[in-house]
Amino acid sequence: MNPHLSEFELNASLWEEPSGSVAGHLTSCADCRRERDLIAAPLAAFRDDSQQLAARDEFFWSAQRARIESQIAARSSQGIPGLAWSMVVGLIVLGVFLLKPAKPPAVPAPTYSQSIRSQDQDFALLVEVEHTVNSQVPDALAPATLLAYEMNRTALTKSK
């Protein structure tokens, strides 16, 4: 068993009043006292430095405040130019590019012979339909032809 103080006990003795046994060992053991002082001395120096920094006079802090305020003012007066303007210009250019109507795909105009051929095909189809309509219909559809005949006749007499 280690008779000296543990690292935890040494650290604890730095920020709180050591308990009776720890305090007693520290007073009697030079090794543990030296160990504790090795940690305590730099900590105390650090504490003193930060307290000195924090305890600067009002003149230092008002000068610091004025310097920060002047830098903020300088930045906000620069503000928009530079990057922001170049971004705005970039967005406008992009918008114009996107809004430009796309060229419609060129559809070749039908040549004269093609249009004649398509008219011929239409006429041929019309003739075929007429043939089908006028051809003999099955007996089952005979009433329908009668109906169609009557409808045609009615339409003809009305148009006269």
Piece of 28-36, 88-96, 112-120, 150-158 that binds Zn ion (CB under 5 A):
28-36
In the complex, the smallest distance separating the C-beta of residue 40 from Zn ion, rounded to whole angstroms, is: 15
Residues 6+ apart with CB under 8 A from 35: 4, 5, 10
CA distance 151 to 153: 5
Provide the CB-side half-sphere exposure for 31 (13 A, CA).
6
Segment near Zn ion (CB under 5 A); pick from 26-34, 61-69, 102-110, 129-137: 26-34
Tell the smallest beta-carbon distance from residue 66 to Zn ion (Å). 54
Sorted by sequence, the CB contacts under 8 Å of residue 32 that are 6+ apart come out as 4, 5, 10, 25, 26
Binders of Zn ion among residues 37 to 56 (CB under 5 A) are: none
By the rule CB under 5 A, 23 interacts with Zn ion: no
Of the candidates 10, 13, 22, 32, which one interacts with Zn ion according to CB under 5 A? 32
Give the shortest CB-22-to-Zn ion separation in angstroms. 10
Torsion on CA atoms 59, 60, 63, 68, rounded to nearest 10: -150
Q: Please list every residue from 130 through 149 that binds Zn ion, using CB under 5 A.
A: none
Q: In the complex with Zn ion, which residue's Cβ is closer, 31 or 120? A: 31
Helices (H), the chain: 7-15, 20-28, 30-54, 58-78, 83-99, 112-134, 142-159
Among 4, 65, 67, 117, binds Zn ion (CB under 5 A): 4
* Contacting positions for Zn ion (CB under 5 A): 4, 29, 31-32
